Amino acid sequence: MGNDSFLRRVQALLRIRNQLARECLAELLSTFVLLLITLSSSAQAVTSSGAKGNVLSSYVAGALAVMVAVYTGGGVSGAHLNPAYSFAMCLLEQFPWWKFPIFLALQLSGAFLASGATYVLYYDAIQNYTNGTLATYGPRETASIFATYPADYLSLSNGFLDQVMGTGVLILGILAIVDTRNKGVPKGLEPVVVALLVFSIEISMGANCGCAINPARDLGPRLFTYVAGWGVDVFRWVEGVG
């Protein structure tokens, strides 16, 4: 009885009652979960030279990460996870504009923190794979574990079009899934269907740019690689290189 009373007091002390604070923490945590699973699957594939993962396994992990992330924070913040989705909700007047910069900062922060956690988790593997040299290009590059990079053949304009179309399909699909006037998805299974949507985009539109379709998913980890030792090359577009 004494332990139960103590636990209840601790729970009451730690409970956050402010709705905005709850939403902020939920958005931060759900974005963190999304990127931790997504980046870890990539790190496992790269550092094992494909022995413990490949492009398809990374796509599956990324889609399942979306599902877990939406279940994590969806009931509190809506688990936007993506500035493009938050922006679309603002345009449709389903999300207040004043919250947009807050969610943007939280999404970038969650992605940045998840990148750091992935780096720590796979630190020994990355050091072993690279012999201690963190490279953005070349046969032993590891920057692509964290951020997405264009294929060698891709032009800047085609890369822009690729991300606009991929993100557009993502937003359109999510709006169709959550539209109560549309053919209904069984309640509680929306995250599963969104994960299938993400997987379909990954396996059909991932060749050109790696299918980021999420500014936070790409920029947060890219900022991390910049400060963690990969250098300014993570921000450079070199024609024919990336």
With bands split at pLDDT 50, 70 and 90, how would you rate the model's confidence at 167?
Answer: very high
- Would you kindly state where each structural domain of the chain is located, as residue ranges? 19-235
pTM here is: 0.91
Single-letter code of the amino acid located at 224: F
Residue 241 has pLDDT above 90, yes or no: no
Query: What is the predicted pLDDT for the residue at 153?
Result: 87
pLDDT in tens, 121-163: 999 999 999 998 998 988 899 999 999 988 888 888 898 999 9
Q: Are 61 and 41 in contact (CB under 8 A)?
A: yes
pLDDT in tens, 177-221: 988 888 878 888 999 999 999 999 999 999 998 888 999 999 999
pLDDT in tens, 89-107: 999 999 999 999 999 999 9
What contacts 31, CB < 8 A, 6 or more positions away? 69, 81, 106, 107, 109, 110, 111, 114, 216
Which architecture does CATH list for 19-235?
Up-down Bundle (1.20)
